[in-house]
Structure 1
């Protein structure tokens, strides 16, 4: 199976600009793009985040958060950092839109910016929670997937002209960018929840930028 592509900065900036003027829920789509590239979350995990995962009761951003075990793709808790100013700005704009349009609000305006803390952080365009498709494998194992959110990620990349762009590309790009910064495989594993260091190595190897740099020095 071919690896997901690594999406470069100028492509992400272009996708953000296109998302901001296209679709039914522009503020949400921009926030979805940036949280994918800024945290490495899988679509199912993003769909299961709640407002309290992002906000403290006083309305401040919970910069040091966590992917709770019950929403993690591997059933294990891991760190989740809303440390990027760009990510926070996009999510805050979307939450302001939610308050304005009364999506998941409560009567307690002083807490969680007036939003229900257990409401999903991201909602479908009509203001309802994303739905999950249930599957049962041949071995009787049950799994759930948020196909609607996965499709949104495909659309956001397609409309920006990014070939083969999707949520997997965003997740791999997050790992590769950490690797370019010289971060250890162990740290990348901790932040992505990937099963092994070998799997992390496969995810970040064949970085197109590094390969181009090597070739450029041949002659």
Structure 2
């Protein structure tokens, strides 16, 4: 199976600009894009995020949060860092829109910026939680996926002209960009939650920019 595409910075900026002027949920869609590229979360994990995973009761952002075990794709808790100013700004603008549209609000406007702290961080265009599709695996186990959110990610990339762009590409891009910064593979493993360092290596190897740099110096 081929690896997901690595999306470059200029492509992400373009997708963000297109999302900002397309559709009726532009603030949410911009935030969704930046969360995927800024955290490496999967669609299932993003759909299960709660307001309390992002906000404190006083409205401040929980910079050092966690991917709770019950929402993590592998059932294991890992760090979730809302350290990027760009990501926080996008989420904050979306949450302002939610309050104005009265989507998932609470009766205490001074707590959690007026939002229901037990509700999802991201909602559908109709202001409802994302739903999950149940499937039975070949082994007979139940598997649930948020197909509607995965489709949103495909649409956001398609409308920006990014071939084969999707949430998996965003997740690999997150890992590859950390690798380009010279981050320790163990740190990358911890942030994306993969099972081993060899899994990190498979994800970041064959980086197209690194290969181009090597070839450019041949002659």
TM-score bin (small chain) = over 0.9
Q: 1: distance between equivalents of 2:213 and 2:199?
A: 24
TM superposition shift of 1:28 = 0.2
Query: Which residue of structure 2 lines up, in the alignment, with residue 213 of structure 1?
Result: 213
TM superposition shift of 1:82 = 0.3
Structure 2: runs of 5 or more not aligned: none
TM superposition shift of 1:24 = 2.2
Structure 1: runs of 5 or more not aligned: none
Query: In the comparison of the two structures, how many residue pairs are matched?
Result: 219
TM-score by length of 1: 0.99
Q: 1:146-177 CA distances to partner (integer Å, 9 max, x unpaired)?
A: 00000000000000000100000000000000
Secondary structure of the structure 2 residue equivalent to 1:105:
coil
Query: Which residue of structure 2 lines up, in the alignment, with residue 137 of structure 1?
Result: 137
Q: 1: distance between equivalents of 2:143 and 2:55?
A: 29
Q: Does 2:23 align with 1:23?
A: yes
User: What does 1:87-106 correspond to in 2, within 5 Å?
Assistant: 87-106=87-106
Which structure 1 residue ranges, 4+ long, deviate > 6 Å from structure 2? none
Q: Does 2:73 align with 1:40?
A: no
Q: 1:36-59 CA distances to partner (integer Å, 9 max, x unpaired)?
A: 000000000000000000000000
TM superposition shift of 1:143 = 1.1
User: What does 1:95-174 correspond to in 2, within 5 Å?
Assistant: 95-174=95-174
Q: 1:103-135 CA distances to partner (integer Å, 9 max, x unpaired)?
A: 000110110000000110000000000000011
Q: Does 2:14 align with 1:5?
A: no
Q: 1:70-89 CA distances to partner (integer Å, 9 max, x unpaired)?
A: 00000000000000000000
TM-score by length of 2: 0.99
Q: 1: distance between equivalents of 2:129 and 2:170?
A: 22
Query: Which residue of structure 2 lines up, in the alignment, with residue 14 of structure 1?
Result: 14
Secondary structure of the structure 1 residue equivalent to 2:37:
helix
Q: 2: distance between equivalents of 1:205 and 1:147?
A: 28
Query: Which residue of structure 1 lines up, in the alignment, with residue 64 of structure 2?
Result: 64
Calculate the aligned-residue CA RMSD, in Å: 0.5
TM superposition shift of 1:101 = 0.2
Q: 1: distance between equivalents of 2:212 and 2:193?
A: 29
Q: 1: distance between equivalents of 2:60 and 2:199?
A: 35
Q: Does 2:204 align with 1:204?
A: yes
